[in-house]
Structure 1
Amino acid sequence: MAETTGTTGTTGTTTEGVLPKGFRGAELGWPELERIPHPPHRLPLLGDLLGASRRTPIQDSLRYARQLGPIFRRKAFGREFVFVWGAGLTADLADEARFAKHVGLGIANLRPVAGDALFTAYNHEPNWQLAHDVLAPGFSREAMAAYHPMMLAVADRLTGHWDRELAAGRAVDVPRDMTKLTLETIARTGFGHDFGSFERARPHPFVTAMVGTLTYAQRLNTVPSPALLRRAARRNAADIAYLNHTVDDLVRARRDQGGGKGSGDGDLLDRMLDTAHPETGERLSARNVRRQVITFLVAGHETTSGALSFALHYLSRNPRLAARARAEVDRVWGDTAVPGYEQVARLRYVRRVLDEALRLWPTAPAFAREARADTVLGGEHPMRRGGWALVLTGMLHRDPEVWGPDAERFDPDRFDAAAVRARAPHTFKPFGTGARACIGRQFALHEATLVLGLLLRRYELRPDTAYRLRVTERLTLMPDGLRLHLERRTPASSDPRRPVPGAGD
């Protein structure tokens, strides 16, 4: 999920999710705000919203970033926000000694459902560190290897569904099916639950409620007052109630099965229920367990489904690159019917494809940082303690000083080992930064690499030639309306000895 804009974190909070009117530079922690450029034609009430869309604030910000440079500001309904994307400034903000995570407005808007869970906790709230220490072993190499068979089982349900669509002559709905896949994966591996997504013609109600809460949080960023969203607020309250009810049932079922009494060596839910902090002996409260489960179910599938969808889009549009990735799968996995855990990490080019998709469209498109003490950003911009800025990840990943003049081009070789070593640190940040970076990063990358390898081995991907990439925003990013046509590969076409155009590039 994306960090967008914000209230204060370590230095106190305002009403959750709502900044006071007239929030000016000094209050934001930028005493020399007037030195930072902003879009032209600013209006008294709307600020910089002229020509902007409430549905695509991130993409609007990318457009302004190209015009205004590595640091800029936008104003909407009396609220002023500072955006940073220059590589040098971002590296400065990544300094954990001087800056910390800032719970921005988009995240604070999710606190009614996620509270002080890992993603939405303020830095001063103790449950963040408690949950992190309790759950970190759930993402160890040993834990990941135990999740691998369940990931394979869910991927098998996806390919079964795609085979049926192919047999019926239908294109596949990529974002919808990737959402089903990743929801089932985190639900089964983390919580032993099956939503039955592939047996449903429509999205599971959990997904509908989740999308509703994310969309509502996004809308709160684009209106002068929450009072204008009374009907949407009632719908959001119903969505939150449904998420809570679903998770409470899931936890109750685990307790009925004996969960909460063991060693805490099982899945994520067992760890939440069973494990005490190794030093303090503290345990997660029942309320916090609910919040953590919701966070993992939402964040644990929403961003990964987007990454897979963007990767499949770019591969379908670049047959030579798809052939190269497919050749690697054939060579590394060979005739192995079921790839083992260790074989996934050997798909180095496939992983580069995913990294390049995350570079162009980081599905969590921004993260916010706040000053721990008075400081000067980049040696030029004074910031007071608690002052914050939003790192625009999608533009950081397009910085021509880092990625070259062709930064908009899809090129997985930007992530070969030599290129990565040659780049400055903190220039690729799809999972955030620092102590509060995504705890499930390795889980997401293993799942996505495995699934992409399986799909490349099984299918040729054919795009809809009339489709042009559209990106929908609901705090996270996802291709909109992406459908692909499939061709089942023949045994001859999957022969690892068969030459592949571009495989030696």
Structure 2
Amino acid sequence: MAETGSRTTDGAALPKGFRGAEQGWPQLERIPHPPHRLPLLGDVLGVDRRTPLQDSMRFAHRLGPIFRRKAFGNEFVFVAGARLAADLADEARFAKHVGLGVANLRPVAGDGLFTAYNHEPNWQLAHDVLAPAFSREAMAGYHPMMLDVAARLTGHWDREAAAGRAVDVPGDMTKLTLETIARTGFGHDFGSFERGRLHPFVTAMIGTLTYAQRLNTVPAPLAPLLLRGATRRNAADIALLNRTVDDLVRARRRAGAGGDGDDLLDRMLATAHPETGERLSPENVRYQVITFLVAGHETTSGALSFALYYLSRHPEVAARARAEVDRVWGDTPAPGYDQVAKLRYVRRVLDESLRLWPTAPAFAREARQDTVLAGEHPMRRGAWTLVLLPMLHRDPEVWGPDAERFDPDRFDAKAARGRAPHVFKPFGTGARACIGRQFALHEATLVLGLLLRRYDLSAEPGYRLRVSERLTLMPEGLRLRLERRPVPAPVTAPLTASDTDGPASAPRCPVHGVGD
């Protein structure tokens, strides 16, 4: 383990030299900051504590590709430009930094894949043990379960449409993605679509994410006083998450973990590292289950919700995407695994939605050694910066003067080949990028295809996009009107052998390492 210095709010050690961003930027004065800075308070005037990410986006528009903000004595450096972000992607000089809201999640997620510090050994152990669960062969095995959960969504939406009611898009996408990861990863059914409200697990999860963000908006010494009630609620939320996961693991142990890699939980409980023979500890299993249940559904539900918002606002895009679904899938009741990847334009819709509103909207990078960022900004070892993905994805030098406009053709093959690497990063970067990227993209593309084939979508009159922040992003209050199209048969028809024939690829991790 590396030498350690200061500690996080939960007492975990941080790499030596971590003392805040300003300590590691020798020429900090060269980096612009907002005007009207106040002693002690810093740049907090006019800042909305509910939308710190969108506030930072506004500052980036005014201050440029790199800027700094100060709050309660702590100064933070933000990167919004593609050239700087590309340099930060250099794994030889930079690594993932666990800070700000992510570190605040360690009381609930510990050294799980997303919240582990780089020096903690359980990250590599868990990654190596779980990576085969995202191979092509494993993904094809999840596909029928994804179809089954999608059928529960469309059944619910059919009833709402028949009654003339608009549907709650963020709420229903959250139910869908929670059930999908719970079924495929852990063999568990939360019964989300049989409930009038979100499952208590989701309510507790939203509470912990919101609390983690609020901790960043108050001075640390005053947090126990200013957030006393919120701290009590957060402790109750964490206890509920832990109880839910402990019950799930206990039930699997009673049933007997398969040991043959049937799903994520079997791998966590019964699979040893292929080289060292190590296994995940019971405590780390809990952390990993919580990590996958939260990260495995929260960001995907946001991505689907934003995509459905843009489809409802751009009928010409929806018509083109629907025509592709009808052409590629035809009257096939249940599309096979390989048919999903053929929806290239639908995937572009999803990518363009993630460009404008990446639901995991930032990641932090720290210097492995003394270095100079992009040849201009000296950084000492341990200094870190936060990459603002919505601004990286709007950099006009990359995306053009119309970067704010929704246009899925930005992701056609020719356009994508013409762009530099590291300009589109909705799943993070480097060794700690999202281990479940392909899972999320397959699920989201499948669901969009099914919904486009089944419904005409229209937003309620007068709706204006509002983005809520709870570390992740979600379109707030989005409701859609549905009109059934006279096409598809039920989506639960059994798959035939031809749906998944062809040699399965050898187990591998589709990417090296959401933002784990």
Length-normalised TM-score, structure 2 = 0.91
CA distance in 2, matches of 1:100, 1:264: 33
Q: 2:482, 2:21 → 1: CA distance?
A: 53
Q: How does 1:195-206 map to 2 (within 5 A)?
A: 195-206=190-201
Q: Distance in 1 between matches of 2:421 and 2:217?
A: 33
**Aligned pair in 2 of structure 1 residues 347, 11: CA closer, same or farther (>3 Å)?**
farther
Which residues of structure 1 form unaligned runs of 5+? Answer: 1-8, 493-505
Following TM superposition, by how much is the alpha carbon of 1:330 offset from its aligned partner in structure 2, in angstroms?
A: 0.1
Give 1:49 shift.
1.1
Partner of 1:453: 449
Instruction: State the alpha-carbon separation in 1 of the partners of residues 8 and 304 from structure 2.
Output: 36
Q: Helix, strand or coil for the counterpart of 2:481? A: strand
Task: Tell me the CA shift for residue 12 of structure 1.
Answer: 4.3
Structure 1 residues 32 and 138, CA, compared in 2 at 3 Å: closer, same or farther? same
Gaps of 5+ in 2: 489-516
User: Post-superposition shift, 1:247?
Assistant: 0.3
Structure 2 distance, partners of 1:170, 1:214, is: 30
Q: Distance in 2 between matches of 1:10 and 1:31?
A: 22
One-letter amino acid of the structure 2 residue matched with residue 441 of structure 1: R
Question: Which of 151, 160, 170 pairs up with 1:165?
Answer: 160
Give the one of 242, 245, 249 matched to 1:244.
242
Aligned equivalent of 1:404: 400
- Aligned position for 1:273: 269
Report the CA distance between 1:263 and its aligned residue.
Answer: 2.9
Q: Conserved in 1, the CA contact under 8 Å of 2:133 and 2:264?
A: yes
Q: 40-49 or 121-130, which moves further after superposition?
A: 40-49
Asked whether the equivalents of residues 116 and 128 of structure 1 are also in contact (C-alpha less than 8 Å), the reply is yes
1:173 Cα deviation from its structure 2 partner: 0.4
Shift of 1:24: 6.3
- The answer to whether the 8 A contact 1:17-1:105 is kept is no
5 Å-filtered alignment, 1:50-449, equals: 50-224=45-219, 225-227=222-224, 228-259=226-257, 262-449=258-445
1:255 maps to amino acid: R
**Segment drifting more, 219-228 vs 379-388:** 219-228
Provide the identity percentage.
82
Q: Following superposition, which runs of at least 4 residues in structure 1 exceed 3 angstroms of deviation?
A: 9-13, 17-20, 22-26
**Other structure's SS at 2:359 match:** coil
Q: From the superposition, tell whether residues 12 and 275 of structure 1 become closer, same or farther in structure 2 (CA, over 3 Å).
A: farther
Q: Is the 8 A contact 2:20 2:383 kept in 1?
A: no
3-state SS of 2:227 partner: helix
Kept in 1, the 8 Å contact 2:211–2:234? The answer is yes
Kept in 2: contact 1:397–1:428 (CA 8 A): yes
Q: Post-superposition shift, 1:454?
A: 0.1
Aligned pair partner of 1:14 in 7, 11, 29: 7
Listed one character per residue, the Cα deviations across residues 402-436 of structure 1 (whole Å, up to 9, x for unaligned) are 00000000000000000000000000000000000
SS of alignment partner, residue 48 of structure 1: coil
Partner in structure 2 of residue 6 of structure 1? none
Distance in 1 between residues matched to 2:304 and 2:5, nearest whole Å: 38
Q: Distance in 2 between matches of 1:406 and 1:128?
A: 40
Residues in 1 aligned to 2:487 and 2:432: alpha-carbon distance in whole angstroms: 46
- 1:24 and 1:149 mapped to 2: Cα distance? 47
Contact 1:182–1:302 under 8 Å retained in 2: yes
Contact 2:21 2:77 in 1 (8 A): no
* Cα gap change, 1:257 to 1:25, in 2 (>3 Å): closer
Structure 2 CA distance for partners of 1:155 and 1:491, relative to 1, 3 Å: closer
- Judging changes above 3 Å, is the alpha-carbon distance between structure 1 residues 116 and 411 closer, same or farther for their aligned structure 2 residues? same
Separation of aligned partners in 2, 1:142 and 1:178: 26
Offset of 1:23 from its aligned partner? 6.2
> 2:67 aligns to what SS in structure 1?
strand
| C-alpha contact 1:24 1:79 (8 A) present in aligned 2 | yes
- Tell me the amino acid that sits aligned with residue 116 of structure 1: D
Structure 1 counterpart of 2:377, which letter? H
Q: CA RMSD in A?
A: 1.6
Taking the aligned partners of 2:208 and 2:9, their CA distance within structure 1 comes to 15
Residues 279-304 of structure 1: CA distance to partner in whole angstroms, max 9, x if unpaired?
Answer: 00000000000000000000000000
CA shift in 2, pair 1:126/1:318, >3 Å: same
Shift of 1:104: 1.2
- How far residue 14 of structure 1 moved from its aligned partner, in angstroms, is 2.1
1:25·1:32 contact (CA, 8 Å) conserved in 2?
Answer: no
Cα gap change, 1:226 to 1:263, in 2 (>3 Å): same
The structural deviation recorded for 1:43 is: 1.1
Which digits, 9 at most, give the CA deviation of each residue in 1:319-355, with x for residues without a partner?
Answer: 0000000000000000100000000000000000000
TM-aligned CA deviation for residue 18 of structure 1? 9.7
Whether contact under 8 Å (1:247, 1:294) holds in the other structure is yes
Query: Alpha carbons of 1:491 and 1:185: their partners in 2 closer, same or farther (altered >3 Å)?
Result: closer
1:290 partner amino acid: R
Contact persistence 1:23–1:79 (CA under 8 A): no
Q: Is the 8 A contact 2:22 2:75 kept in 1?
A: no
One-letter identity of the residue aligned with 2:126: A
**Do the aligned residues in 2 keep the contact of 1:23 with 1:80 (CA within 8 Å)?**
no
For 2:427 and 2:8, locate their aligned partners in 1 and report how far apart those are by CA, in whole Å.
27
**Counterparts of 2:20 and 2:90, CA distance in 1:** 25
Q: Distance in 1 between matches of 2:20 and 2:261?
A: 49
Find the counterpart in structure 2 of residue 487 from structure 1: 483
Equivalent AA in structure 1 for residue 365 of structure 2: R
Q: Which residue of 1 aligns with 2:506?
A: none
Structure 1 CA distance for aligned equivalents of residues 123 and 20 of structure 2: 30
Aligned residues: 480
Determine the C-alpha separation between the residues in 1 that align with 2:330 and 2:78: 47
Per the TM alignment, residue 230 of structure 1 is displaced from its structure 2 partner at its CA by: 1.3
- How many angstroms does 1:463 deviate by? 1.2
The amino acid that maps onto 1:293 is: V
